[in-house]
Amino acid sequence: MDWFGRARIGFTHSPSPLPLQRKDGTTTDLLKVCEAATPRCQMNPLLFNGHIQTMWTAVKEHGPHVYYRRRIFDADHKTYHGTYAVDFVVKPHQDVDAALPPRTAYFAEEEFNNMASDDDRPMLVCLHGLSGGSHEVYLRHAILPLVESGDWEVCVINARGCANSAITSGVLFNARATWDVRQLVKWLRETFPNRPLFAVGFSLGANILTNYVGEEGADCPLKGAISVSNPFELDVTNKALQRTFLGKEVYQRVMGSNMKKLINCHKESLVGKTKLDFDAIDRLTYLYEFDRAVQTVTWGYPTETAYYRDASSADAILGIRIPFFAVHAEDDPIAVREAIPYEEFKQNPYTVLVTSSLGGHLSWFELGGGRWHAHPICNFLKVMASEINLDAIKPTLANGVADETKHTHFYPVRRKLEILEN
């Protein structure tokens, strides 16, 4: 039983967590690092369940000030063509661009071209939630300690059309849209060859990130990744949301409305480039209706549930071969508890899941207005970057069994949707 906002903490992990070597020569393991990174979870007692925590996010809170410079990247994949926007955290500036989110302005061409560096400062790539962007309060709370330390570089990849970015092709984002993050990580690796790269994803962005890390497997360029409030099994979360009044008439309705607004904002750009029925989109109400009208048409899925099953990241957990830390609230009313792949986490020594009994969806409001999820995220990243010998992590074994002989007939990240290569 939770008392006065004190949430219970639980860890799910392999019986033999990934061994890690510290820079001072001593040893530890992934579970110990995650446990040490996770402080006690004391929520605001007035926000005593997941619904209230989640709905409190609608309260207009300015949140911490983080400043960005934006760069538009051209996609390098002939199938997933178009552009996407990346916002890089920079020092405070006075530039104002009314077409962009607050405290965000475009890079000057010369400034961007001079970004390349051989420094070894750690760098974090962030992926936001559904229809969000770099401006989201939960994201800014999570990265603020890293930004204030001055020791980290941070950037946020905005899903296509989000955060006032343009859509320049008929290719939109979906829950398994890993191609833009793959290209960005590749660009970062080439531009900053000595920087250890990490990533954190929130909600839908966590699902995308988990799929990306699972798809890359032992070849993943990242040194570590964090998943926050991941829906994991989208078909399960969809059915759970439709079961209850709040799930359907609040969460499904709000998310459906947000996505409909996003499409309508870019309607002019999409007409002629897609087969979308915009009249039908105008009539829809719920998120699953949006996915039926947009994702199935865009990607060729026969139903929205086929899309959910294919885009889910639960199986990708088994393909991960870098240190991976998942943070989740058990009372999350959107990324519901029944969709958490507990058994998959137990199978993979590269992964650890921490759950709190309270916190809602991307909420975790503490007394005083802080957000608890920022603590385990930043603590984990700081320890991994400053104390752990990252070069000593050799992604060759899973549960003590060589990867090539593990799951001989099961491929964790096999897509049912055919991907055309360059």
Structure token pair of residue 421: 């290569």
| Separation of alpha carbons 8 and 25, rounded Å | 34
Write phi, then psi, for 188 (nearest 5 degrees): -60, -40
Distances (CA, A) of 242 to 78, 123, 239: 37, 39, 5
Token match 């096999």: residue?
414
Structure token pair of residue 123: 């760098």
3-state secondary structure 328-352: EECCCCCCCHHHCCHHHHHHCCCEE
Taking every pair of C-alpha atoms in the chain, what is the biggest distance, in angstroms? Answer: 63
| Separation of alpha carbons 137 and 93, rounded Å | 19
| Separation of alpha carbons 334 and 360, rounded Å | 8
| Separation of alpha carbons 225 and 199, rounded Å | 5
The backbone region for 363, taken as left when phi is positive above 0, alpha when psi lies in -120 to 50, beta otherwise, is alpha
Helix (H, G, I), strand (E, B), or coil: what is residue 139?
Answer: helix
Write phi, then psi, for 146 (nearest 5 degrees): -70, -40
| Cβ(223)–Cβ(194) below 8 Å | no
| Separation of alpha carbons 420 and 344, rounded Å | 29
Q: Which residues are catalytic?
A: 203, 332, 361
Amino acid at 283: R
Gyration radius (Cα) of the chain, Å: 20
